[in-house]
């Protein structure tokens, strides 16, 4: 059912209304919005949450997408190059509506995995399903709903941002009226008439972010979107990722900047020598690896030596001296005991802080082969 609502000022408004069905309780729900708009939906009967994209033309029957469902399902993906297992049986899932981090050292197989899962290079074996469709059988249909930003973004240097986005709108059959808002959204309004060849790497990356949004995809796959950028551009890219996700998009991105992945991602997968060696939330990976919190204790008039009361204390590891402070790993249950023992031994503590295990701790332990 499609209803075009007439504007009170005489013209034809773009607003459309559609009745959809909740996949769990089958309750009918009426939603309204602009053609192509992605709308957050909540069933008032069973509280199922999800997203629905209003069609650009005649709508097809489509239920609410359960936000707990899977957007990307990779199973046993394998790719060989001249006898080298670039990707070796990679298996992981990306949930709808989440920000998913894809990590690994240089040469681990991140970019090869991304290219193979998008059918940009031929996979030797495995299965890739995106939004329930098989990439081998439904390549064109799947890619209509994906915004892909490659590791090395390049555009025609003699074109302006407006001309560049005009070109991509024509390729995707999208109305060019969206271009001014895309350019404004990524902060390139003051440079919209400049040639792309004069842009910095950060500006080119932002133009790439504008380009991948053409067609309002529900999935974004970003390969090293922050690589080589200074702090200012990293901050802007981070904000763009958060903005896309807040509007309901599922985002998978690879990165070497562990702090950014930790601050953005719901879950991560870590790849090493073509194999997925971990997939979970950061906290669950840390628990699995039994990484202990770090305790920093600062003293007044510290003598620079490891206190005797700590040398053989069970649960204490990796004691390190840094100036007038001690850094050590310890079980959470013995923190108060450590402080008490030090005070009884005559040490004057001016400050102490606890640092919970980080993504960097987990990444290093897994990649170095200690796990």
Instruction: Give the pLDDT of residue 182.
Output: 92
Chain CA centroid to CA 34, Å: 27
Q: Are the C-beta atoms of residues 29 and 64 closer than 8 Å to each other?
A: yes
How many domains is the chain partitioned into structurally? 3
Phi, psi of 293, deg, nearest 5: -60, 155
Same domain, 268 and 193: yes
Write down the pLDDT at residue 357: 63
Mean pLDDT of the chain: 81
Mean pLDDT for 156-163 is 95
- 53 and 77 inside one domain: no
Top-confidence residue, 25 or 15: 25
pLDDT attached to residue 38: 67
Summarize pLDDT for 335-361 with one digit per residue, the tens. Answer: 889 999 999 999 999 988 887 666 666
Residues 234 and 302 both lie in one domain: no
When pLDDT is cut at 50, 70 and 90, the band that residue 72 belongs to is very high
Whether residue 174 sits in one domain with residue 60? no
Assess whether 311 and 270 both reside in one domain.
no
User: What is the C-alpha to C-alpha distance for residues 156 and 163, in angstroms, rounded to an integer?
Assistant: 10
CATH of residue 309's domain is 3.30.70
Please report which confidence band the pLDDT of residue 16 belongs to, taking 50, 70 and 90 as the band edges: low
Same domain, 52 and 84: no
Q: What is the pLDDT of residue 34?
A: 65
Look at residues 40, 66, 92 and tell me which one is the last residue of a structural domain.
Answer: 66
What value does the mean pLDDT take over residues 137-159?
A: 91
Identify whether residues 176 and 224 lie together within a single domain. Answer: yes
Identify the CATH number of the domain in which residue 127 sits. 3.40.50.300
CA-to-CA distance for 37 and 45, rounded, in angstroms?
24
The residue segments making up the domain with residue 302 are 294-355
If asked whether residues 120 and 177 sit together in one domain, one would say yes
pLDDT at 160: 96
Please tell me whether residues 76 and 185 are part of one structural domain.
yes
Same domain, 83 and 195: yes
Query: Which residues are CB-neighbours of 348 under 8 A, at least 6 positions away?
Result: 299, 300, 301
- Identify the three-state secondary structure at position 87: strand
CB atoms within 10 A of CB 157: 12
- For the cut 50, the answer to whether the pLDDT of residue 59 exceeds it is no
């Amino acid at each position: 059912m499609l209803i075009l609502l007439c504007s009170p000022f005489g013209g034809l408004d773009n607003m459309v209304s559609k009745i959809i069905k909740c996949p769990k309780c089958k309750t009918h729900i009426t939603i309204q919005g602009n053609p192509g708009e992605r709308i957050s939906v909540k069933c008032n009967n069973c509280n199922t949450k999800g997203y629905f994209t209003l069609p650009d033309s005649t709508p097809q029957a489509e239920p609410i997408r359960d936000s707990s469902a899977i957007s990307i399902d990779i199973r046993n993906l394998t790719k060989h190059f001249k006898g080298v297992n670039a990707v070796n049986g990679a298996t992981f899932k990306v949930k709808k509506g989440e920000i998913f981090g894809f990590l690994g050292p240089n040469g681990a197989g991140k970019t090869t995995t991304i290219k193979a899962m998008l059918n940009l290079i031929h996979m030797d074996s495995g299965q890739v399903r995106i939004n329930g469709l098989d990439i081998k059988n439904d390549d064109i249909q799947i890619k209509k709903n994906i915004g892909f930003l490659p590791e090395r973004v390049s555009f025609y240097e003699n074109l302006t941002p407006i001309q560049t986005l005009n070109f991509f709108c024509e390729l995707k059959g999208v109305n060019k009226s969206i271009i001014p808002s895309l350019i404004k959204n990524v902060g390139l309004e003051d440079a919209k008439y400049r040639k792309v060849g004069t842009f910095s790497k950060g500006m080119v990356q932002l133009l790439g972010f504008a380009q991948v949004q053409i067609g309002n995809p529900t999935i974004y796959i970003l390969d090293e979107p922050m690589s080589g950028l200074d702090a200012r551009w990293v901050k802007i890219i981070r904000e763009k990722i958060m903005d896309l996700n807040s509007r309901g998009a599922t985002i998978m991105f690879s990165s070497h900047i562990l702090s950014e992945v930790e601050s953005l991602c719901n879950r991560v997968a870590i790849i090493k020598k073509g194999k997925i060696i971990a997939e979970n939330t950061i906290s669950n990976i840390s628990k699995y690896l039994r990484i202990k919190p770090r305790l920093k204790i600062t003293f007044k008039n510290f003598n620079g030596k490891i206190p005797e009361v700590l040398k053989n204390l069970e649960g204490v590891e990796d004691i390190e001296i840094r100036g007038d402070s001690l850094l050590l790993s310890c079980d959470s249950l013995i923190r108060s005991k450590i402080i008490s023992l030090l005070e009884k031994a005559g040490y004057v503590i001016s400050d102490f802080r606890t640092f919970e295990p980080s993504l960097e701790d987990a990444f290093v332990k897994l990649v170095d082969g200690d796990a």
